[in-house]
Amino acid sequence: MQTSFVTSSTVAITGGYLVPIDGDPIESGTVLIVDGVIRAVGADVEVPEGAEIVDAAGSWVLPGFVEPHAHLGVHEEAEGPAGDDTNEMTNPNGAALRAIDAINIDDLGFRDALVGGVTAAVIKPGSGNPIGGQSVALKTWGARTVDEQAFRTAVSVKSALGENPKRVYGERKQTPATRLGVAKVIREAFVAAQNYAAERARAATDGKPFARDLGLETLVAVLDGELIWDQHTHRHDDIATAIRLAEEFGYRLVVNHGTDGARIAGVLAEKDIPVIFGPMLTSRSKVELRTRDIANLARLAEAGVRIAITTDHPVVPINFLVHQASLAVKEGLDRDLALKALTINPAQFLGLDDRVGALREGLDGDVVIWSGDPLDVYSRAQRVFINGREEYSLELGVRERD
């Protein structure tokens, strides 16, 4: 019986049914974690003397889930307006903004993430602005500050098309009040970034001083491929605009939400544009959600679109991430692909697969022991390890921060 959290620097999780995600399942396998990093995965792993043994017999062992689009800590639960820093809706171009500056790691959602087996999350600004700001990738527990919890401080830039930004600024009778205006704001921002990059290069060549601009620096990083363009868009015509803009300026596009994306699934597949789909457990609360259907995820996958799944927490509680996958399987999504959509796929889309998303040598020791198949609604996350340290157990709850 477990009586305390595992704290050893060498941990061997043994005897479980291992689902590495990027390899075949292993009966009665072992995951060896040393100093927070996975060192071996297999059926015949040699466990070093002195390692702390975690018996997972009768359980399923998977990598921690990756939530690719959440507002944990920037939109705190049960805090009202005082805890909502999701959108800085004072300027349509928020490229200089960074989600990390508003994240409270004591938000209740981080505890919920552990209960749902979610060990990593990409936190993004909201969708009130055409350009919302930079996202950050965090582990969901295990550090004293948000900076220590972050494992990739600059992942992408959040952008929004469709109803949200046109409603926010249209009510003020200012640009952008239409879809035309939203696209104009984005297009003008990237033209300015191109000009800025050229001027910066000339100044460097001439050895002259150059005045930096935080927003334009961020957009140049997008143009240079250093940051991904995370495009909030639901309706198929808005997705088409997202593609048009990406091809015009040559940046890496990831569609976020894409609930109407099945309408142009063939286009997305041909252009190899990934979709972070969801949230699914919502009502059709606005016009652009009219065609929202869980079965659309299976339709995207069947067309060859690379997919991941999001709760858009707190729109849907983050611990329901796995339940959305289960419902998608019920509506036709291949079950193995559903597990990839919770793990390796979002990690790959957002450039995090060198750290998370699979049980593989060299990746972080983010491992979850489940009572059974996690896609079975009756299964529960029994023990959650982040960087090799146990941060949650069904018996003991969440480990308190150091």
Poorest-pLDDT segment among 74-78, 220-224, 230-234, 237-241: 74-78
Q: What angle do CA 34, 38, 43 make, to 5 degrees?
A: 105
Question: Is pLDDT above 80 for 2?
Answer: no
Q: For residues 350 and 252, is the Cβ–Cβ distance under 8 A?
A: no
pLDDT digits (tens, 9 = 90+) for 46-98: 999 999 999 999 999 999 999 999 999 999 998 999 999 999 999 999 999 99
Q: Give me the chain's average pLDDT, please.
A: 96
Categorize the per-residue pLDDT at 401 as very low, low, confident or very high, splitting at 50, 70 and 90: confident
Q: For residues 63 and 343, is the Cβ–Cβ distance under 8 A?
A: yes
- For residue 267 the two structure tokens come to 């286009």
Categorize the per-residue pLDDT at 285 as very low, low, confident or very high, splitting at 50, 70 and 90: confident
Q: What is the rounded average pLDDT of the residues 103-120?
A: 98
Q: For residues 131 and 125, is the Cβ–Cβ distance under 8 A?
A: no
Q: For residues 398 and 73, is the Cβ–Cβ distance under 8 A?
A: no
pTM: 0.96
Q: What angle do CA 176, 181, 186 make, to 5 degrees?
A: 95
Q: What angle do CA 272, 277, 283 make, to 5 degrees?
A: 150
Q: What is the pLDDT of residue 226?
A: 98
Question: Is pLDDT above 90 for 8?
Answer: no
Q: How many CB atoms lie within 10 A of CB 281?
A: 14
367-370 and 60-63 strand pairing: antiparallel
Task: Please list, in sequence order, all residues whose beta carbon lies within 8 angstroms of the beta carbon of residue 83, skipping any fewer than 6 positions away.
Answer: 75, 76, 77, 104, 107
Question: Could you tell me the end-to-end alpha-carbon distance of the chain, in angstroms, rounded to an integer?
Answer: 24
**What percentage of the chain has pLDDT greater than the value 70?**
100
Which of 90, 100, 92 lies closest to 125 in space, CA to CA? 100
Measured CA to CA, the distance from residue 345 to residue 366 in angstroms comes to: 16
Q: What is the rounded average pLDDT of the residues 312-323?
A: 98
Higher pLDDT, 161 or 7: 161
- For residue 85 the two structure tokens come to 């820093």
Categorize the per-residue pLDDT at 381 as very low, low, confident or very high, splitting at 50, 70 and 90: very high
Measured CA to CA, the distance from residue 339 to residue 24 in angstroms comes to: 13
What values do phi and psi take at 338, rounded to 5?
A: -60, -40
Amino acid in the structure at residue 199: E
Q: What is the rounded average pLDDT of the residues 23-44?
A: 97
Q: What is the pLDDT of residue 163?
A: 94
Q: What is the pLDDT of residue 1?
A: 55
Categorize the per-residue pLDDT at 4 as very low, low, confident or very high, splitting at 50, 70 and 90: confident
Spacing of C-alpha 133 from chain mean position: 15
Higher pLDDT, 5 or 395: 395
Longest dimension (CA), the chain: 70
Q: How far is CA 18 from CA 27, 58, 75, 307, in A?
A: 6, 11, 35, 23
Half-sphere exposure of 195 (CA within 13 A, CB side): 7
Categorize the per-residue pLDDT at 267 as very low, low, confident or very high, splitting at 50, 70 and 90: very high
Q: What is the rounded average pLDDT of the residues 260-270?
A: 98
Which of 356, 369, 338 lies closest to 30 in space, CA to CA? 369
Task: Please list, in sequence order, all residues whose beta carbon lies within 8 angstroms of the beta carbon of residue 283, skipping any fewer than 6 positions away.
Answer: 289
Question: Is pLDDT above 70 for 219?
Answer: yes
Measured CA to CA, the distance from residue 302 to residue 23 in angstroms comes to: 21
Which residue, chain included where needed, has tokens 């975690």?
Answer: 54
